[in-house]
Amino acid sequence: MNINPIQQQDIPSCLDLYNHYIQNTCFTLEEMPLSLEAFRNRVEQVIQRYPWIVAKDEHGNVLGFAYLSVFNERSAYCRTADLSIYVHKDHMHQHVGSKLFKEIESAARLQGITNIISIITNANPISLKFHEKWGFIQEGHPKTVAFKMNQVIDIYYYRKKLE
Protein backbone atom coordinates (compact mmCIF):
# COMPACT_ATOMS: atom_id res chain seq x y z
CA MET A 1 0.00 0.00 0.00
CA ASN A 2 1.24 3.45 -0.94
CA ILE A 3 0.04 6.65 0.69
CA ASN A 4 0.61 9.94 -1.09
CA PRO A 5 -0.94 13.38 -1.45
CA ILE A 6 -4.03 13.37 -3.64
CA GLN A 7 -3.41 13.86 -7.35
CA GLN A 8 -5.86 15.00 -10.01
CA GLN A 9 -6.14 11.46 -11.38
CA ASP A 10 -7.22 10.19 -7.91
CA ILE A 11 -10.23 12.50 -7.67
CA PRO A 12 -12.76 10.38 -9.65
CA SER A 13 -11.98 7.24 -7.62
CA CYS A 14 -12.14 9.15 -4.34
CA LEU A 15 -15.46 10.63 -5.44
CA ASP A 16 -16.89 7.18 -6.23
CA LEU A 17 -15.76 5.93 -2.84
CA TYR A 18 -17.31 8.91 -1.03
CA ASN A 19 -20.55 8.87 -3.03
CA HIS A 20 -21.01 5.25 -1.94
CA TYR A 21 -21.07 6.43 1.68
CA ILE A 22 -23.43 9.30 0.88
CA GLN A 23 -25.92 7.03 -0.89
CA ASN A 24 -25.71 3.94 1.31
CA THR A 25 -24.87 4.95 4.87
CA CYS A 26 -25.44 7.47 7.60
CA PHE A 27 -21.68 7.74 8.19
CA THR A 28 -21.68 11.07 6.38
CA LEU A 29 -24.59 13.42 6.71
CA GLU A 30 -24.42 14.61 3.13
CA GLU A 31 -27.49 13.31 1.34
CA MET A 32 -26.98 14.03 -2.34
CA PRO A 33 -24.13 12.47 -4.34
CA LEU A 34 -21.52 14.99 -5.36
CA SER A 35 -20.64 15.76 -8.96
CA LEU A 36 -17.07 15.46 -10.14
CA GLU A 37 -16.87 19.24 -10.39
CA ALA A 38 -18.15 19.77 -6.84
CA PHE A 39 -15.80 17.16 -5.41
CA ARG A 40 -12.84 18.52 -7.37
CA ASN A 41 -13.62 22.00 -6.02
CA ARG A 42 -13.74 20.60 -2.48
CA VAL A 43 -10.36 18.94 -2.91
CA GLU A 44 -8.83 22.11 -4.36
CA GLN A 45 -10.17 24.18 -1.47
CA VAL A 46 -8.90 21.75 1.18
CA ILE A 47 -5.39 21.30 -0.22
CA GLN A 48 -4.77 25.03 -0.22
CA ARG A 49 -4.45 24.79 3.54
CA TYR A 50 -4.51 21.15 4.69
CA PRO A 51 -3.24 17.70 3.67
CA TRP A 52 -5.39 15.27 1.69
CA ILE A 53 -3.84 11.83 1.28
CA VAL A 54 -4.81 8.74 -0.67
CA ALA A 55 -3.98 5.07 -0.04
CA LYS A 56 -3.57 2.92 -3.15
CA ASP A 57 -2.72 -0.69 -3.79
CA GLU A 58 0.17 -1.85 -5.98
CA HIS A 59 -2.06 -1.50 -9.07
CA GLY A 60 -2.96 2.12 -8.32
CA ASN A 61 -6.49 1.38 -7.08
CA VAL A 62 -7.73 3.77 -4.41
CA LEU A 63 -8.26 1.98 -1.09
CA GLY A 64 -9.15 5.03 0.94
CA PHE A 65 -8.42 8.65 1.67
CA ALA A 66 -8.04 11.02 4.59
CA TYR A 67 -7.92 14.76 4.90
CA LEU A 68 -7.93 17.56 7.39
CA SER A 69 -10.14 20.58 6.95
CA VAL A 70 -11.37 23.67 8.73
CA PHE A 71 -13.03 22.89 12.04
CA ASN A 72 -14.33 26.43 12.41
CA GLU A 73 -13.70 29.44 10.17
CA ARG A 74 -12.85 31.80 13.04
CA SER A 75 -9.12 32.48 13.09
CA ALA A 76 -8.61 31.47 16.72
CA TYR A 77 -9.33 27.86 15.69
CA CYS A 78 -6.35 27.83 13.31
CA ARG A 79 -4.55 25.07 15.25
CA THR A 80 -7.58 22.75 15.29
CA ALA A 81 -8.59 20.69 12.26
CA ASP A 82 -11.49 18.43 11.35
CA LEU A 83 -10.54 14.89 10.29
CA SER A 84 -12.24 12.78 7.63
CA ILE A 85 -11.22 9.22 6.74
CA TYR A 86 -13.02 7.04 4.22
CA VAL A 87 -12.01 3.48 3.31
CA HIS A 88 -13.31 1.64 0.27
CA LYS A 89 -16.10 -0.73 1.32
CA ASP A 90 -14.18 -3.72 -0.07
CA HIS A 91 -11.09 -2.92 2.01
CA MET A 92 -12.54 -2.49 5.48
CA HIS A 93 -10.64 -4.21 8.32
CA GLN A 94 -7.41 -4.29 6.30
CA HIS A 95 -5.71 -1.52 8.35
CA VAL A 96 -6.15 1.05 5.57
CA GLY A 97 -7.75 3.50 7.99
CA SER A 98 -4.97 3.04 10.55
CA LYS A 99 -2.26 3.67 7.99
CA LEU A 100 -4.09 6.74 6.71
CA PHE A 101 -4.55 8.03 10.25
CA LYS A 102 -0.84 7.64 11.11
CA GLU A 103 0.10 9.64 8.02
CA ILE A 104 -2.48 12.38 8.48
CA GLU A 105 -1.60 12.73 12.18
CA SER A 106 2.06 13.16 11.27
CA ALA A 107 1.16 15.76 8.65
CA ALA A 108 -1.00 17.58 11.22
CA ARG A 109 1.88 17.76 13.68
CA LEU A 110 4.22 19.12 11.00
CA GLN A 111 1.65 21.78 10.19
CA GLY A 112 1.36 22.86 13.84
CA ILE A 113 -2.13 21.45 14.39
CA THR A 114 -2.65 20.82 18.11
CA ASN A 115 -6.15 19.34 18.08
CA ILE A 116 -7.87 16.99 15.67
CA ILE A 117 -11.66 16.80 15.86
CA SER A 118 -13.82 14.07 14.36
CA ILE A 119 -17.58 14.25 14.13
CA ILE A 120 -18.96 10.72 14.03
CA THR A 121 -22.55 9.55 13.73
CA ASN A 122 -24.09 6.95 16.00
CA ALA A 123 -24.67 4.90 12.82
CA ASN A 124 -20.92 4.27 12.66
CA PRO A 125 -19.87 2.40 15.83
CA ILE A 126 -16.76 1.01 14.11
CA SER A 127 -15.50 4.56 13.66
CA LEU A 128 -16.18 5.35 17.32
CA LYS A 129 -14.00 2.39 18.34
CA PHE A 130 -11.35 3.30 15.77
CA HIS A 131 -11.01 6.81 17.16
CA GLU A 132 -10.82 5.57 20.74
CA LYS A 133 -8.08 3.12 19.68
CA TRP A 134 -6.06 6.07 18.34
CA GLY A 135 -6.37 8.15 21.50
CA PHE A 136 -9.40 10.29 20.72
CA ILE A 137 -11.66 11.21 23.62
CA GLN A 138 -15.40 11.77 23.30
CA GLU A 139 -16.11 15.35 24.27
CA GLY A 140 -19.68 15.83 23.13
CA HIS A 141 -22.80 13.92 22.14
CA PRO A 142 -25.58 16.04 20.63
CA LYS A 143 -28.61 13.80 20.25
CA THR A 144 -31.19 13.64 17.47
CA VAL A 145 -29.57 16.46 15.51
CA ALA A 146 -29.87 14.97 12.00
CA PHE A 147 -32.26 12.91 9.94
CA LYS A 148 -31.09 10.75 7.04
CA MET A 149 -32.44 7.59 5.42
CA ASN A 150 -35.47 7.65 7.73
CA GLN A 151 -33.20 7.56 10.78
CA VAL A 152 -32.76 10.09 13.53
CA ILE A 153 -29.03 10.57 13.98
CA ASP A 154 -26.91 11.46 17.00
CA ILE A 155 -23.40 12.76 16.55
CA TYR A 156 -20.32 12.47 18.71
CA TYR A 157 -17.47 14.93 18.90
CA TYR A 158 -14.15 13.18 19.38
CA ARG A 159 -10.91 15.09 19.97
CA LYS A 160 -7.28 14.11 19.98
CA LYS A 161 -4.83 16.52 21.54
CA LEU A 162 -1.51 16.41 19.71
CA GLU A 163 1.38 16.83 22.12
pLDDT tens-digit map of 108-162: 999 999 999 999 999 999 999 999 999 999 999 999 999 999 999 999 999 999 9
Instruction: Give the integer Cα–Cα distance in Å for 58 and 37.
Output: 27
Instruction: Report the CATH number that the domain containing residue 108 is assigned in CATH.
Output: 3.40.630.30
User: 19: domain range?
Assistant: 2-161
Instruction: Give the integer Cα–Cα distance in Å for 107 and 117.
Output: 15
Instruction: Give the integer Cα–Cα distance in Å for 117 and 126.
Output: 17
Say how many domains are in the chain: 1
Q: What is the pLDDT of residue 142?
A: 97
pTM: 0.95
Spatial neighbors of 146 by CB under 8 A, at least 6 apart, are 29, 121, 152, 153, 155
Cβ atoms < 10 Å from Cβ of 104: 25
pLDDT tens-digit map of 70-119: 999 999 999 999 999 999 998 988 899 999 999 999 999 999 999 999 99
